[in-house]
Amino acid sequence: MLFKHAEGSFLAGVAAALKTSTNNFGFIGGVDFPLIHEFEQGFLAGVAAINPDITVQIGYASVPPDFSGFNDPVKGKEIALAQYEAGADIIYHAAGGTGTGMFEAAKEVSESTGKKVWGIGVDFDQYYTVGNPLPELQEYILTSMVKAADVSIFYNAAKATVEGTFTGGPNVDDLSTGGIYLSYSGGYIDDIKDTLEEYKAKIISGEIVPPSVRP
């Protein structure tokens, strides 16, 4: 099961650029290696599509062969606090459990400064997966770039089988299959849905091809 992470991350970048008040963003990757660069580059391109005059701070929790960066919320909070302090008002993470620290930082900074800052989740709808045990963090989760494994495994595989197009190889999911999408939980990006749908359509049509590797 493969996902076009750059497509969903591009939309996350568009959402961030439409909701910012500082034009300063953060990205936190769990481990600095090519898989996470897909998220990073897609996000950068999405932000730049709305406003090329931006600042994006990039931080990683670890580098190979150390993969602890996917489960280090203390490190995630440390990186996020530094990025918020340097002017970011929205941070997108692709860092697994490390991202919880980012949401904790968003709450802390918002409460201490009186200025709302946000985090964008990944893989799951983190409004629920983080917000269920920690409901006090929900109001800081702008959206999430969701990978719908259930759609990928069951619906799309079954559809391909019925249509006779199933090859038995890796199943690649993207915006067109519904295997990747932005969450609207919390209602924080409802006001920009029309614009997000326009960019989604451009990606699906091939008019926009989000980058997935560093230049």
| pLDDT at site 153 | 47
Q: What is the pLDDT of residue 170?
A: 64
Measure the CA–CA gap between 174 and 72, rounded to whole angstroms.
28
Sign of CA dihedral 188, 193, 196, 200: positive
Look at the chain and report how many structural domains it folds into: 1
Asked if the structure places residue 209 within a domain, the reply is: no
Q: Give me the half-sphere count of Cα atoms (radius 13 Å) on the Cβ side of residue 160.
A: 17
> What's this model's pTM, rounded to 2 decimal places?
0.93
The answer to whether residue 79 is domain-embedded is yes
pLDDT digits (tens, 9 = 90+) for 122-173: 999 999 999 999 999 999 999 999 998 755 444 445 555 566 665 655 678 8
Report whether 94 contacts 28 (CB < 8 A).
yes
* Euclidean distance between CA atoms 193 and 201, whole angstroms: 12
Task: Write out the H or E segment, with its range, that includes residue 55.
Answer: strand 55-62
Q: Is residue 148 part of a domain?
A: yes
pLDDT at 1: 67
Residue 214 is assigned to a structural domain of this protein? no
Residue 163 counted as domain residue: yes
CATH number for the domain spanning 18: value is 3.40.50.2300
Q: What residues make up the domain containing 186?
A: 2-204
Q: Check residue 67 and give its pLDDT.
A: 98
Q: What is the pLDDT of residue 172?
A: 80
Residue 63 near residue 30, CB atoms below 8 Å: no
Residues of the chain with pLDDT under 50: 152-156
